[in-house]
Amino acid sequence: MLKKRDLSDCPVLFDLMIHPDVYPFVRHKTKQYEEYLFITKQMIEAEERGELISRTILDEWGNPIGTITLYDISNNAGFLGTWLGKPYHGKGFNGLAKQQFFEELFFTLNIETVFMRIRKNNIRSIKAALKMPYTLAANETRAALYDEINAKETIYDLFEISKDHFTLAQKRFETEMAAEVSVYGAKEA
């Protein structure tokens, strides 16, 4: 579902990114394919320097459908940026990609906290963030950071995913699944 970014995915990703329902919410907007290729190359190099972590999101057949990136990494924390092509909205790819990305970040790459700044008018992304059982609204609990990201104008809501909350939600889910299997198995017997 995720793979390291590479330049071979750029033609497909560029075409998906420029859709009017996607483009306004992409961090690195480009209007030309060559510019997108250049920015992707810069991101790959930035990952090699430890400045960000970026993956291509794949569909069930291995086709590139979007990207997920942890930007501005500092003190084992960073900001999440993700987008999916319009044909893949509402099909569950966003949640699956985040789940897999967080597992890599928290358990392989030693990231402790992921922040999401979501435009207040991006209702789709706010709803998606709040669906995840490990996401905390952080406008008040991280007031200094909230003020910093809204220094020019209040346009973002802030959300936080900590390694501890993610791990707790994972364990809770595994416990619920085990109980469900146990109940289902008891009914079969």
pLDDT tens for 12-64 read 999 999 999 999 889 999 999 999 999 999 999 999 999 999 999 999 999 99
- CATH number listed for the domain at residues 2-188: 3.40.630.30
The better pLDDT of the pair 29, 177 is held by 29
Is residue 123 over pLDDT 60? yes
Amino acid 184: pLDDT: 58
Contact 115, 78 (CB under 8 A): yes
Does the pTM surpass 0.95? The reply is: no
Distance (Å, whole) CA 106 – CA 10:
27
Amino acid letter, 86: K
Instruction: Work out the pLDDT band at 124, boundaries 50, 70, 90.
Output: confident
The number of angstroms, rounded, from the C-alpha of 73 to the middle of its chain's C-alpha atoms is: 14
Q: What is the mean pLDDT of residues 158-166?
A: 96
Instruction: Work out the pLDDT band at 98, boundaries 50, 70, 90.
Output: very high
